[in-house]
């Protein structure tokens, strides 16, 4: 999709069409999630701090993100994709790879399929998208970026090198600011330059994996196939405080909230995880992580919290000013095939069952219907909670 979040907002509020629209949080510490091309003309880009975007584009109309809406539109668009082929690999809410080799005969070739998708999505959802067609995922991704917005580009196998080699190295998927800097220091400006460089040189500069990866991509080689439904590897939540926090009690309460939320998502996904990690970002933006691997996988908020709390307390940050904390659970496996070790003399705390009951209450009465007492806002404790 082109400027996905902003396009959805424009679709819902047509009177904003043609105006510079910026989707992003209202808070002072938020960033731009999406911006219309009218706003981009002022230099606004995604991931830019909102404060800066406002300065660059004071007339821009700022809209708070409505994540639920984007998820809905995304689901219907993905359904359009799946009507073409079951081989759909969503990359994010607004992007997917389709392997159309099998559908080509039925639907008349990749270009026609691409045009059909573009027309159907615009028809049904009123938003535009761009389609890249190529022999590999990586090239298709570059092709779609190249023809944005509202375009279609076919890169036939015979034109791969001609398309690829003039591009700047930064255009490659996986080459960000740091890698680009290293490459430019080596005098490598285009993908063609990269292709002409010995693999060993790239590996010395970028590490073995990145070196051979980029070398292959520079020649259009990419073995990765379209795989619908990759299993998730971790689930977590993190939050930036509105202002820096130096009170450990506030941090601990936040860790509790994040742990409960993360564990609820694990249970909803039917997964358990064995490693709990926390993330702490200090006022100066330096960030550290600490993790602990448990003897047994869990989806219990209390267990996640106690582990997270132990990691946090071990840091001894009594006076530090923190900007963000996060909790994540890794090494996920399906709950029903996780080895459940029954230890001799283990006492059954019953937390798992208690939290499953909380999940049911939340489904009936809404999220937050039942929550730890520490998370009940004292100013509102007299109301329905």
Partner DNA sequence: TCTGGGGTCCTTTTGCCC
Partner DNA sequence: TCTGGGGCAAAAGGACCC
Catalytic residues: 95
Subset of 263-322 contacting DNA (CB under 7 A): 265, 275, 277, 284-293
Is residue 367 at the binding interface for DNA, with CB under 7 A as the rule?
A: no
Q: Can you count the helices (H) and strands (E) in the chain?
A: 15, 11
Q: Are 58 and 52 in contact (CB under 8 A)?
A: no
155 vs 324, beta carbon nearer DNA: 324
Strand order in the sheet with 21-24: 32-35, 21-24, 61-63
| Span of 8-16, 41-49, 68-76, 363-371 interacting with DNA by CB under 7 A | 41-49
| Span of 69-77, 97-105, 230-238, 368-376 interacting with DNA by CB under 7 A | 230-238
Torsions phi, psi for 139 (to 5 deg): -70, -35
**CB of 221: closest distance to DNA in angstroms?**
15
278 vs 358, beta carbon nearer DNA: 278
Subset of 185-214 contacting DNA (CB under 7 A): 207-210
Q: How far does the chain reach from its first CA to its final CA, in angstroms?
A: 41
Show the binding pattern over residues 99-138: x = contacts DNA (CB under 7 A), - = does not. ----------------------------------------
In b/e form, how buried is each residue of 271-289, taking b as 16+ CB within 10 angstroms? Answer: bbbbbbbbbbbeeeeeeee
52 vs 189, beta carbon nearer DNA: 52
Show the binding pattern over residues 319-358: x = contacts DNA (CB under 7 A), - = does not. ----xx-x-x------------------------------
For tokens 């990765």, the residue is 224
What angle (nearest 5°) sits at the alpha carbon of residue 358, between those of residues 354 and 360? 115
Show the tokens assigned to 306: 């106690």
Half-sphere exposure of 97 toward its Cβ, with a 13 Å CA cutoff? 21
Binding residues for DNA, rule: CB under 7 A, are: 25, 28-31, 33, 46-47, 49, 51-52, 55, 91-95, 141, 172-180, 207-210, 232-240, 265, 275, 277, 284-293, 323-324, 326, 328
């Amino acid at each position: 999709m082109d400027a996905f979040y902003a396009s959805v907002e424009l679709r819902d509020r047509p009177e904003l069409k043609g105006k510079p629209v910026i989707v992003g949080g209202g808070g002072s510490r938020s960033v731009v999630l999406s911006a219309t091309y009218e706003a981009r003309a002022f230099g606004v880009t995604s991931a830019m701090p909102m404060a800066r975007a406002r300065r660059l584009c004071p007339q821009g109309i700022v809209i708070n993100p409505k994540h639920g809406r984007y998820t809905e539109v995304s689901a219907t668009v993905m359904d359009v994709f799946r009507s073409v082929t079951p081989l759909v690999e969503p990359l994010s809410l607004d992007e997917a790879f389709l392997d159309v080799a099998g559908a080509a005969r039925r639907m008349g070739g990749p270009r026609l399929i691409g045009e059909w998708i573009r027309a159907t999505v615009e028809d049904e959802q009123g938003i535009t998208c761009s389609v890249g067609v190529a022999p590999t995922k990586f090239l298709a991704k570059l092709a779609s970026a190249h023809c944005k917005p509202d375009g279609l580009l076919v890169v036939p196998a015979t034109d791969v090198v001609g398309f690829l080699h003039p591009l700047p190295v930064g255009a490659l998927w996986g080459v960000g600011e740091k890698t680009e800097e290293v490459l430019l220091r080596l005098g490598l400006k285009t993908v063609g330059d990269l292709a002409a460089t010995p693999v060993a040189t790239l590996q010395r500069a970028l590490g073995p994996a990145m070196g051979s990866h980029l070398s292959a991509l520079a020649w259009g080689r990419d073995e990765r196939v379209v795989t619908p439904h990759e299993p998730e590897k971790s689930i977590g939540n993190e939050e930036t405080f509105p202002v820096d926090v130096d009170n450990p009690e506030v941090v601990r309460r936040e860790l509790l909230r994040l742990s409960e939320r993360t564990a609820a998502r694990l249970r909803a996904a039917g997964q358990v995880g064995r490693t709990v990690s926390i993330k702490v970002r200090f006022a100066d933006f330096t960030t550290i992580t600490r993790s602990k691997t448990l003897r047994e996988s869990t989806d219990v908020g209390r267990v996640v919290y106690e582990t997270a709390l132990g990691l946090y307390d071990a840091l001894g940050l009594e006076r530090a000013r923190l900007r963000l904390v996060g909790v994540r659970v890794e090494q996920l496996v399906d709950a029903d095939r996780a080895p459940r070790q029954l230890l001799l003399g283990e006492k059954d705390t019953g937390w798992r069952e208690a939290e499953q009951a909380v999940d049911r209450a939340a489904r009936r009465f809404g999220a937050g219907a039942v929550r730890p007492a520490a998370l009940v806002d004292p100013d509102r404790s007299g109301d329905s909670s």
